[in-house]
Amino acid sequence: MTALPSAPRVVARDCPPRAAWALEQEGLDPLLARLFAARGVRHRTELDPDLAHLARPDQLRGVAEAARLLADAIAAGQRLCVVADYDCDGATACAVLLRGLVLLGAAPEQVGYVVPDRAVHGYGLTPPIVDLAHATGAQVLITVDNGIASLEGVTHAKALGLTVVVTDHHLCAQDAQGEVLLPPADAIVNPNQPGCPFPSKALAGVGVAFYLLLALRAERRSRGDFDAPPRLDGLLDLVALGTVADVVPLDANNRRLVAQGLRRIRAGHMQHGLRALFHVAGRDARRASSQDFGFALGPRINAAGRLADMRLGIECLRSDDPARALAIAQQLDGINRERRAVEADMKAVSEELLQAQMPRGTPPAAVVLFDEAFHEGVVGIVAGRVKEALHRPTFVFARGADGRLKGSGRSIPGLHLRDALDLLAKRCPGLLARFGGHAMAAGCTLAVDDLATFAQALQAIAEASLAPEQLRRELQHDGSLEGAMFSVDRALGLAEQVWGQAFEPPLFVDDFEVIQQRLVGSGHLKLRLQHGSGVQVEGIWFRRTDTLPPGPARLAYRLDADHYQGQPRLQVLVEALA
């Protein structure tokens, strides 16, 4: 992006030496002990992926009542309808419930789903979506990845005589006095609802759906409905994909869910849709990593909800026909290429808008962008790109089908975006038609004429909330590596671990001699480096168009294994000058 701020600060990540030593004493490799201790791990059991260590389903408030309602509905032959969301978390949660309900005794014809059209229906369980589900003959609605703030929609569903089970992970709505508002559902399962003792508040929507199935299995087993309870671990590939794609913090519980999903995928046990997505993305499922979920599979599922119809993504994930799954995956891949083209056009327009906002090259404390040509389905991606480039909370808006502006925002550490919108709504009553989200990502709807007011109010909140040092991107590193650590086996071993949001992949800092360098591809710097130990290694610095001065350079980098003609080759991914 234009007018980048100063280079990131590269600072050492705090690593308590006693914690690292304790992990070593428990048998952990010294480097891994150092890396995990720096990320808050204190006991090796926190790294054990065994499902026996998962938090118990009965700790989720409302899950027992939800399980009883669904068990009754299945026994009575009632029509169940899953109300999905149009992102990857919502799609995987929907596929998990559709498959899981049938595994747990529902007849296939008893289970259906609806998913909103982003441009037509907006987000969540709105009254029109309730009517759509009701028209299919649904008697029980089960929301996934939405519903906690759908007060109007749930009220409408209850007026129609429907049973409503809300499963969600988003924060609850509040009134002007800060009182929590809950929808009048028959059961609510959400680790972030008041009074829920569940230890992991970071569950994604798909994780909540999986836990509901665990509780339903226990309920049906207690009723004597099973000779042998069905296994649900075959759904963990979908749980892992949705968890990583939704960028929720990978706490110990989420890491176990992701690790179990990756283990099954690497062993060749996965849904046909996931196998097809790995194929069209050109990724090897035998070496599956959380990065594959976040940067290859997730975007292809999300593309359906952004530019087309998320039913494509859901059908890909629930298909039991390999040929059909592959055909849909190829279609999703084409939609994703279209999404990239739309994104490129929007980024070009954003460059021009940013120039007007930064006459002296310094971005404001919060960036707000809108253009009539922007596509509603891609605003979140562009907001993320601008946020990464400028290290500023960013909202990007597009005009919706109803004429109002639909915005998606991304934030930086130090500004909880959903809370910022809540504060903005209190300061400017009536400005936001609706809003919701998380700390790092949120959305809102407002009138076109209110955009300037929104931008001014958000900037004021950002200026008051963020200290100057927080407006400069920070990279935390994990120290240096000895020459013996520069090996393909070490890089592959690191890649096998579960890294992600709030459990970042390791970044190292060392002194190198720049032996060779050249620009390659569409603006990447290819390097030949010599480590201080004398070891030489290939390096790549993506999206870097300036060459380095010849001679010594202190670099922040990640170890990586680049696969060429089926063989892994060691390389380092350079992130910054340290």
For the segment 100-118, what is each residue's pLDDT rounded down to a tens digit?
999 999 999 999 999 998 8
pLDDT at residue number 1: 47
Please, are residues 332 and 314 in contact by the beta-carbon 8 Å criterion? Answer: no
Dist CA 519 CA 541 (whole Å): 10
Q: How many CB atoms are closer than 10 A to CB 246? A: 29
Dist CA 300 CA 317 (whole Å): 12
Domain boundaries, the chain: 51-335, 358-471, 474-577
Polymer length of the chain = 578
**Rounded mean pLDDT, 332-354:** 96
**Rounded mean pLDDT, 438-455:** 94
The token duo for 423 is 């504060």
Dist CA 519 CA 351 (whole Å): 23
In which residue are the tokens 């709504």 written? 425
Task: Give the helix ranges, DSSP H, for 496-557.
Answer: none
Please, are residues 501 and 246 in contact by the beta-carbon 8 Å criterion? Answer: no
Mean pLDDT value across the chain: 95
Whether the pLDDT of residue 5 is over 70: the answer is no
Dist CA 93 CA 263 (whole Å): 19
CATH match of 474-577 with 3.40.1190.20: no
Task: Name beta bridge partners: 82.
Answer: 113, 142
In which residue are the tokens 């096998």 written? 496
Pairing, β 567-577 against β 551-564: antiparallel
Dist CA 383 CA 378 (whole Å): 9
Please, are residues 132 and 400 in contact by the beta-carbon 8 Å criterion? Answer: no
**Rounded mean pLDDT, 464-483:** 95
The token duo for 227 is 């000779």
| pLDDT tens digits along 502-521 | 999 999 999 999 999 999 98
| pLDDT tens digits along 242-251 | 999 999 999 9
| pLDDT tens digits along 395-422 | 999 999 899 999 999 999 999 999 999 9
Per DSSP, which regions of 75-183 are E strands?
80-83, 111-114, 140-143, 163-167, 173-174, 180-181
**CA-to-CA dists, residue 180 to 183, 188, 192, 193, 228, angstroms:** 10, 14, 11, 9, 41
In eight-state DSSP terms, residue 237 is: H
pLDDT at residue number 357: 84
**CA-to-CA dists, residue 490 to 29, 181, 549, angstroms:** 11, 50, 29
Name residues whose C-beta falls within 8 Å of residue 180's C-beta, 6 or more positions apart in sequence: 172, 173, 174, 193, 194
| pLDDT tens digits along 346-373 | 999 999 999 888 877 788 999 999 999 9
Q: How many CB atoms are closer than 10 A to CB 327? A: 14
φ, ψ at 434 (rounded to 5°): -165, 155
Whether the pLDDT of residue 292 is over 90: the answer is yes
Task: Name beta bridge partners: 180.
Answer: 174
| pLDDT tens digits along 112-170 | 999 998 878 878 899 999 999 999 999 999 999 999 999 999 999 999 999 999 999 99
pLDDT band at 174 (very low <50, low <70, confident <90, very high): confident
Whether the pLDDT of residue 3 is over 50: the answer is no
Name residues whose C-beta falls within 8 Å of residue 388's C-beta, 6 or more positions apart in sequence: none
pLDDT at residue number 119: 75
φ, ψ at 571 (rounded to 5°): -150, 165
**Rounded mean pLDDT, 497-502:** 95
Q: What percent of the chain has pLDDT over 70?
A: 99
Dist CA 534 CA 159 (whole Å): 74
CATH architecture group of domain 358-471: Roll (3.10)
| pLDDT tens digits along 520-564 | 988 899 999 999 999 999 999 998 999 999 889 999 999 999 887
Q: Minimum mean pLDDT among 452-456, 492-496, 566-570: which range? A: 566-570
CATH for 51-335 (3.40.50.150, 1.10.260.40, 3.40.190.10, 3.90.1640.30):
3.90.1640.30
Dist CA 141 CA 144 (whole Å): 10
In which residue are the tokens 């993305």 written? 281
